[in-house]
Structure 1
Amino acid sequence: MSTVFDQGLQPERTALAWRRTGLALLGGSLVAARILPETLGAWAAIPGLIGVAAAASLLYAIHRRYRQQHQRLTAEGDRSPIAGGRLVAAMAGFLLAAAIVSIVVTIALTARG
């Protein structure tokens, strides 16, 4: 059993928040993959399927990063946090792209009347 290195368990709370974000992205993407083709045609499932792939990648990256951080924090010696913000940057980029696609879909639906 490992020792508790942080009484507030901040890494665990952060990992849980990222998991909720990944699961929300997965759920929204599955709904989009199901609903968009009925409205806009078969090609419209592509954004939803891309979202499912992105959510799966995000959930894998979250799990891997948490394990690395946990091993580092419970090891003797260097307990410095893992550097880098690639996960946050990737998520922000994906959400920006999803917002743009949402705007395009809304405009397309409005134009159809």
Structure 2
Amino acid sequence: MSAPWDAGLQPERAELSWRRTVLSVTAGTVVAARYLGQSHPVLGALLPLAALGGGLLLLRLGAIRFRRLNARLRAVGSQPAEPVMPGAGMLGLLTGMCVLIGVTSVVFIMVTAW
């Protein structure tokens, strides 16, 4: 094997899967934030906007990562000098958005039940 990756479209598939994950988590976070801020108009506007901002940031970081990975892998005869996995910032932001969805869901269920 002369290339450091398979002959298929592995970097493209990975980038598309990241994009789908980010879009679904962003949509869930926006909906959850909207429900959390339903009783307060300022929170109802700010929380979904913050979720959208986080999603856009994640999409941008993913695109940058894909371009870097693709350039490294397509360089003739080169092996990546550093890991090409997503950085901790990207994973941390995605985790934070998932936690926000969970917390918002619990708060919404508790408030609705009372």
TM-score bin, normalised by smaller chain: 0.7 to 0.9
2:29–2:51 contact (8 Å) kept in structure 1 = yes
Counterpart of 1:104, as a letter, is: V
Question: Distance between the aligned counterparts of 1:29 and 1:66, measured in 2?
Answer: 24
1:94 is aligned, of 91, 97, 109, to 97
Question: Distance between the aligned counterparts of 2:102 and 2:32, measured in 1?
Answer: 13
2:111 is aligned, of 82, 90, 108, to 108
Question: Distance between the aligned counterparts of 1:70 and 1:79, measured in 2?
Answer: 12
Task: Give 3-state SS (helix, strand or coil) of 1:28's partner.
Answer: helix
Quickly say closer, same or farther: Cα 1:85–1:51, change in 2 above 3 A: same
Unaligned regions of 5+ residues in structure 2, if any? Answer: none
RMSD of equivalent CA atoms: 2.6
Question: Distance between the aligned counterparts of 1:71 and 1:60, measured in 2?
Answer: 17
Q: Deviations over 1:78-101 (max 9, x none)?
A: 332524541223312321132112
Question: Distance between the aligned counterparts of 1:93 and 1:30, measured in 2?
Answer: 13
Higher RCO by CA contacts (8 Å cutoff, separation 6 or greater): 2
Unaligned regions of 5+ residues in structure 1, if any? Answer: none
TM-aligned CA deviation for residue 36 of structure 1 = 5.5
Q: Which residue of 2 aligns with 1:18?
A: 18
Task: Give 3-state SS (helix, strand or coil) of 1:7's partner.
Answer: coil
Task: Give 3-state SS (helix, strand or coil) of 1:51's partner.
Answer: helix
Quickly say closer, same or farther: Cα 1:20–1:44, change in 2 above 3 A: same
Q: Deviations over 1:41-100 (max 9, x none)?
A: 312333322211111011101101000100111113433252454122331232113211
Length-normalised TM-score, structure 2: 0.73
Of 62-71 and 16-25, deviating more is: 16-25
Question: Distance between the aligned counterparts of 1:49 and 1:109, measured in 2?
Answer: 23
Are positions 1:54 and 2:57 aligned together? no
Give aligned-pair identity as a percent.
32
Are positions 1:9 and 2:9 aligned together? yes
Length-normalised TM-score, structure 1: 0.74
